[in-house]
Amino acid sequence: MGKNDFILHTDPGSPLQDAPQAQEVHIPLRGGLPLVTPGEELPRFGAVGRPAHPLGPWTHTPVAGEVTGVQDGFVSVRSGPVAVEPVAARDLSALNGSALKNALSECGMDVDALRPARRLVVNATPPEPNIFITGRLLRDFRDTLSKGLRLARTLITPTQVTVVGPDVDASAFGNCDVVRMPPRHPNGMKTMILQAIGEKNVSKKITVINIFTLMALGRIMETGLPRTEVFLTVQGRNLRAMVGTPVHDLLEATGSLPDAGDRVSRGGPLCGQALFDLNTGLHLQDYGVTVIPQSTYPPVRDAACLNCGQCARHCPARLFPGELSMCAEAGLWERARFGHVAACFECGICGYVCPARRPLLQYLQLAKSELARLDASAQAEQPPNTAPSQDTEEA
């Protein structure tokens, strides 16, 4: 492990470029329900999915064309001419209250995540190493971020706003507190942001959002159109791409197509998820695509734990990932609970430093998901609470 492996880059990196328009996009529904059927024609920014809960994000197509498929939580749209009327821009500046919230939901924002709170915390720290887009947005899109912050203030109504980041210009955000964060992973994660401001957990008094949320809010205010842009770093290059753009197209445009045996991570090298299909479309939450050459690191394998303690030494949550991974391996879920596996915030450092190359992060994610499933089953088996009868209350 090199000493610079966990450094978060605060410089803006390469200039922002627009990725080529894809001929066919595969748009994630983000947990919503499809509104379209194959063969249907859609205008650009037309709605393809509605949220499963009130004030959740609607989903839209970034291209005009024909719906070619609806499956596995994705809607595929092939670009082409259509006969339907285009979607008109909306003026949100005169809206407020529930009308503003509904409009933002229809534009693709998760309004539930912007709940009212006493304190608004803006995470301006890069999410992972080798991700430069955060610095680029902070440098080139100050006006857009300021518009997004004003809108966030309107929705959240905080009495205090704090911006947390390693290289934040206080004047860029107006009347805000600034907390300097050392540029080292995992300091860009929400748990570390809360620790930096002296809070132990997220409560009703605190709402945490990141730079990408501010950017999305600002762009909606500027354009009056639904959210269909993704700002991300692809193999060191900063791009603006359309949601649903196949990852293969982005890698081809940047000359970064992987060789046999290489891995492609949605995200960065530590917290990213390996992709098994490069035709997968971009999510609105994506901030990077990273190619990890086969020769860079030894392959991950289900080897026995060496009990060396490297994972525990580097764990920022002060856990014992090796022991917890063995609990998951053996199906000892309650023992993993006793070892505080829920405190893991999935920074990926444990698996990165493991000399045995065990998939530690994946084991811990498995334990957390199984415990959540067990808890949900136990709650469902409990009899419903019954109100006491009037006779009982009078007695």
Q: Does 216 share its domain with 263? A: no
Helix (H) or strand (E) holding 391: helix 390-394
The total number of structural domains in the chain stands at 4
Residue 387 resides in a domain: no
**What is the per-residue pLDDT for 386?**
53
How many residues in total does the chain contain? 395
Residue 228 resides in a domain: no
Average pLDDT over residues 236-243: 97
Output the CA–CA distances (angstroms, integers) from residue 355 to 222, 294, 299, 348, 358, in the order listed: 49, 17, 11, 14, 8
Least confident of 3-12, 27-36, 257-266: 3-12
pLDDT tens figures, 314-367: 999 999 999 999 999 999 999 999 999 999 999 999 999 999 999 999 999 999
Q: Does 284 share its domain with 360? A: no
**What is the per-residue pLDDT for 1?**
44
**What is the per-residue pLDDT for 170?**
72
Residue 254 has, within 13 A of its CA and on its CB side, a CA count of 26
Residue 10 resides in a domain: no
Residue 103 resides in a domain: yes
Residue 135 resides in a domain: yes
Q: Does 248 share its domain with 346? A: no
Q: Does 118 share its domain with 179? A: yes
Confidence class of residue 391 from pLDDT cuts 50, 70 and 90? very low
**What is the per-residue pLDDT for 199?**
81
DSSP H helical segments within 207-318, as ranges? 211-223, 247-253, 310-314
Helix (H) or strand (E) holding 78: strand 74-79
pLDDT tens figures, 364-387: 999 999 999 999 999 888 877 655
**What is the per-residue pLDDT for 213?**
97
Residue 61 has pLDDT above 50, yes or no: yes
Mean pLDDT (the chain) is 92
Q: Does 149 share its domain with 38? A: no
Residue 128 resides in a domain: yes
Q: Does 76 share its domain with 131? A: no
Q: Does 173 share its domain with 256? A: no
Residue 299 has pLDDT above 90, yes or no: no
Confidence class of residue 33 from pLDDT cuts 50, 70 and 90? very high
- Residue 176 corresponds to which amino acid? C
Beta-strand relationship, 229-234 and 24-28: unpaired
Residue 300 resides in a domain: no
Question: What is the strand order of the sheet 65-71 is part of?
Answer: 24-28, 74-79, 65-71, 41-42
Q: Does 109 share its domain with 216? A: yes
**Cis previous bond, 186, omega within 30:** yes
Confidence class of residue 393 from pLDDT cuts 50, 70 and 90? very low
pLDDT tens figures, 135-156: 999 999 999 999 999 999 999 9
Least confident of 241-245, 259-263, 310-314, 379-383: 379-383
Q: Does 81 share its domain with 143? A: no
**What is the per-residue pLDDT for 300?**
85
Full domain range(s) for residue 287: 243-292
Q: State what percent of residues in the chain have pLDDT above 90.
A: 83
Q: Does 323 share its domain with 362? A: yes
Q: Are 267 and 128 in contact (CB under 8 A)?
A: yes
Helix (H) or strand (E) holding 289: strand 288-292
